[in-house]
């Protein structure tokens, strides 16, 4: 199959639902104090629990109906674990996950059944997440079969509709995954996630495995799906640039904690946490106008991310922070609205940066292909 076989959806305006509008809608997902510790076994001949990987350690977040919420952070900070806890592929060690007001933190299979179809997941790797021995039609209709759902006009008709929605040729329902490119396979993953008309999709790094040019197309598709079908997204990424194009609100994670959260504009133009600054400074800038804009100094973080088995006391970022002081080791900074922050912008830091970085929003662009999204093109 060639790129020409792809039926691309019509380009749309690129910006998502306004941040204010998203903030006004009722909460769909509420996460409070969510914690996941994985036991570490050791010893011989009797293996005992010798420690805990504090993968997720007491996070709070809320996703409104139809909102796209971005979750960003370096490898190993607990993003996927958070996604798996929310979709209940994992059971939390502590805290609470509420979906439409119902506490599902420890719900049994039977209790989860009525809402299973409403929460779907899109995975990072479009190669391993599709069964190579099943046709595309079988893959996409799988969730309908499992849940005993017979749509009007039959499953095949619904599969064709879904293929069309995700910009693939509806006649290709009998083909196998290997006949598609990476981007097209990810579209198949999106079609499968849409099959049961979900209200919430947890997309775990859905474009990280794709070429940058293809990333833009898939991000655009997800954006259309989010707005037109009014689906809420928890969009997980390690890259602030990708999330910026998709999410009305963004949370930054570090070593199992959320260290900063807020509206997209606030996070990108007035970041307060030193770690958010460092992440933003790593995003390549595009020169604006004839005279190239002064390049923002890249902040190189010293040292490695500490082990989540024995995270630093106080602020977990302190071993890599250039502002760390005694207080940072003694006291964990609470995630709160600090002076100078916009409403809803919370930061966990004792010595936050000044909010003086206006104009970041204009000059931070990952790649020209993603930048094209800003103009409403298909990348």
Ligand X SMILES: Nc1ncnc2c1ncn2[C@@H]1O[C@H](COP(=O)(O)OP(=O)(O)OP(=O)(O)O)[C@@H](O)[C@H]1O
Q: Which residue has the tokens 């009998």?
A: 174
Supply the DSSP string of 20-34, one letter for each residue: HHHHHSPEEEEEEEE
Interaction of residue 53 with ligand X, rule CB under 6 A: yes
Q: Which of residues 68-107 bind ligand X (CB under 6 A)?
A: 73, 75-81
With CB under 6 A as the rule, give the number of residues binding ligand SF4.
13
Q: Which of residues 36-95 bind ligand SF4 (CB under 6 A)?
A: none
Q: Would you tell me how many other CB atoms lie within 10 Å of the CB of residue 313?
A: 12
Distance of alpha carbon 350 from alpha carbon 369, whole angstroms: 38
Distance of alpha carbon 232 from alpha carbon 120, whole angstroms: 10
Six token digits for residue 239: 């890259």
- Which of Mg ion, ligand X, ligand SF4, none does 318 bind, CB closer than 5 to 8 A by kind? ligand SF4
Interaction of residue 317 with ligand SF4, rule CB under 6 A: yes
Interaction of residue 129 with ligand X, rule CB under 6 A: no
Interaction of residue 318 with ligand SF4, rule CB under 6 A: yes
CB of 77 to ligand X, least distance (A): 4
Interaction of residue 305 with ligand SF4, rule CB under 6 A: no
Q: Which of residues 336-355 bind ligand SF4 (CB under 6 A)?
A: 349-351
Q: Would you tell me how many other CB atoms lie within 10 Å of the CB of residue 22?
A: 22
Contact 243, 235 (CB under 8 A): yes
CB of 20 to ligand X, least distance (A): 30
- Which of Mg ion, ligand SF4, ligand X, none does 308 bind, CB closer than 5 to 8 A by kind? ligand X
- Letters for 261-300 (x = contact with ligand SF4 by CB under 6 A, - = none) are ------------xx--------------------------
Interaction of residue 140 with ligand SF4, rule CB under 6 A: no
**Which residue lies nearer to ligand X by CB, 205 or 263?**
205
Which of 200, 253, 206, 257 is closest to 68 using CA atoms? 200
Burial class for 141, CB neighbours closer than 10 Å (0-12, 13-18, 19+): buried
- Give every CB contact of residue 362 below 8 A, 6+ residues apart in sequence: 288
- Which of ligand X, ligand SF4, Mg ion, none does 144 bind, CB closer than 5 to 8 A by kind? none
Question: Half-sphere exposure (CA, 13 Å, Cβ side) for 28?
Answer: 24
CB of 308 to ligand X, least distance (A): 5
Distance of alpha carbon 107 from alpha carbon 96, whole angstroms: 11
Strands 94-99 and 102-103: antiparallel
Q: Which of residues 161-180 bind ligand SF4 (CB under 6 A)?
A: none
CB of 297 to ligand SF4, least distance (A): 18
- Give every CB contact of residue 218 below 8 A, 6+ residues apart in sequence: 183, 186, 187, 190, 206, 207, 210
Six token digits for residue 158: 């619904």
**Contacts with ligand SF4, residue ranges (CB under 6 A):** 273-274, 315, 317-318, 321, 323-324, 328, 333, 349-351
**Contacts with ligand X, residue ranges (CB under 6 A):** 38, 53, 55, 73, 75-81, 238, 308
């Amino acid at each position: 199959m060639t790129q020409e076989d792809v039926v691309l959806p019509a380009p749309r305006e690129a910006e998502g639902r306004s941040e204010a509008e998203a903030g006004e809608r009722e909460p769909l997902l509420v996460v409070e104090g969510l914690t996941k510790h994985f036991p570490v076994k050791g010893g011989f001949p009797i293996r005992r629990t010798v420690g805990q990987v504090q993968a997720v350690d007491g996070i709070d977040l809320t996703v409104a109906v139809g909102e796209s919420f971005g979750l960003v952070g370096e490898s190993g900070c607990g993003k996927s674990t958070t996604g798996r806890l929310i979709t209940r592929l994992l059971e939390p060690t502590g805290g609470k996950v509420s979906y439409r007001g119902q506490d599902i933190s420890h719900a049994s299979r039977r209790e989860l059944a009525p809402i299973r179809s409403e929460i779907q997941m899109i995975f990072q790797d479009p190669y391993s997440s599709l069964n190579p021995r099943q046709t595309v039609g079988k893959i996409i209709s799988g969730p309908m079969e499992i849940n005993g759902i017979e749509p009007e006009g039959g499953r095949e008709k619904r599969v064709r509709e879904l293929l069309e929605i995700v910009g693939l040729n509806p006649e290709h329902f009998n083909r196998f995954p290997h006949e598609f490119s990476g981007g097209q396979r990810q579209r198949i993953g999106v079609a499968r996630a849409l099959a049961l008309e979900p209200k919430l999709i947890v997309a775990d790094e859905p474009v990280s495995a794709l070429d940058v040019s293809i990333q833009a197309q898939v991000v655009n598709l997800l954006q259309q799906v989010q707005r037109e079908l009014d689906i809420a997204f928890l969009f997980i990424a390690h890259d602030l640039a990708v999330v910026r194009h998709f999410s009305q609100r963004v949370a930054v994670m570090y070593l199992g904690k959320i260290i900063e959260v807020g509206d997209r504009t606030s996070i990108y133009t007035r970041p307060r946490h030193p770690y958010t600054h460092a992440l933003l400074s790593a995003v390549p800038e595009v020169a604006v106008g004839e005279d190239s804009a002064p390049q923002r100094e890249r902040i190189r973080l010293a040292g490695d991310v500490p082990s989540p088995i024995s995270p630093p006391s106080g602020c977990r970022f302190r071993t890599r922070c250039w502002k760390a002081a005694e207080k940072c080791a003694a006291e964990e900074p609470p995630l709160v609205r600090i002076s100078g922050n916009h409403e809803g912008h919370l930061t966990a830091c004792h010595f936050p940066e000044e909010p003086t970085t206006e104009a970041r929003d204009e000059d931070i662009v990952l790649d020209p292909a993603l930048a094209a999204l800003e103009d409403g093109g298909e990348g």
